Structure 1
């Protein structure tokens, strides 16, 4: 009976240590309301404005570099995402450096070519190629188009604390643009994280 009691005590102790390691208060701090307040602060707004200007500068370069590309819409998606659930590890070297929130902005140029989309994208890559890897401004780019299996759409974060979407050409959905113009292409510009909360 004594050994059973000792075993139960040891098991309870291990469960407590495991629970504290995984569910320690730092995993829940700061609370979401504080993350939302940080995301709306003057410091983050200044970083957000600088990130948006970088993206819009690149959008203007693309539009000047591909004269036949007529944007049906330019979508700017700004998100601050709670990333705490992304790092569950008991053996992390320095758990105090883990992040709570990342703010990132991306731009999506939506257009419909007057030819086969694969040919249009091939011409862009030949005459005005997107950079390989990250550009000097830390922007990663990709070109995609509608296929039978998958339609283009801006990426959406699942745990956004704050989201702001701005559109150059009004509020028509991608579905409405497809009905009016046919197959859509999307030139995606993914900016690096512009603000981080640890």
Structure 2
């Protein structure tokens, strides 16, 4: 009987520790409404403008460095995302350094070469290659193109707390641009988080 009581006590203790470890972060993390308010604040707006300047400066460098590249559109995707669900762990000693929200901006240069997209990308990599790793401005870059199996997309988070999408050349979708111009290529520039809430 004692061993049954002891095992029951141990099980209840483990459940208490588990529940505390999982539920404890939610007591300290700000609620979503507060994160949305922070994302729209003047402080974040200033960081957002600085991030946009860096991205657009790099877009201009690319357009100058590849003279034949004619952008059909330049899409800027700016998002603040709740990242709390990505960090729950029973084995971390502290939750004080975990992030609640990160804000990040990406730019996508959409173009359609007058040749096979794979050949066009190969030429870019020879003559004006994207940097390996991060550029000096903290931007990661990659090139993608339409294939028979996969069409390029400009994707973002579906559950962003705050989001803004801007286009240089109007509101045409990638599908419309593809229909009018043929196969598309996308030069993706993804900035590091410009604002983080812990």
TM-score when normalising by structure 1: 0.95
Say if 1:27 and 1:185 are closer, same or farther in 2 by CA, change over 3 A.
farther
For residues 33-112 of structure 1, the aligned pairs below 5 Å read 33-112=33-112
CA deviation after TM superposition for structure 1 residue 161, in Å: 0.8
What is the alpha-carbon distance in structure 2 between the residues aligned to residue 159 and residue 197 of structure 1?
A: 17
Q: Which runs of no fewer than 5 residues in structure 2 stay unpaired?
A: none
Contact 2:25 2:95 in 1 (8 A): no
Contact 1:83 1:159 in 2 (8 A): no
What is the alpha-carbon distance in structure 1 between the residues aligned to residue 71 and residue 129 of structure 2?
A: 17
Moved more, 16-25 or 141-150: 16-25
- Secondary structure of the 1:63 match is helix
For residues 1-198 of structure 1, the aligned pairs below 5 Å read 1-26=1-26, 29-198=29-198
CA deviation after TM superposition for structure 1 residue 28, in Å: 6.5
Contact 1:35 1:161 in 2 (8 A): yes
Say if 1:28 and 1:171 are closer, same or farther in 2 by CA, change over 3 A.
farther
CA deviation after TM superposition for structure 1 residue 93, in Å: 4.0
TM-score when normalising by structure 2: 0.95
- Secondary structure of the 1:30 match is coil
CA deviation after TM superposition for structure 1 residue 138, in Å: 0.4
Number of residue pairs aligned between Structure 1 and Structure 2: 198
Contact 1:84 1:100 in 2 (8 A): yes
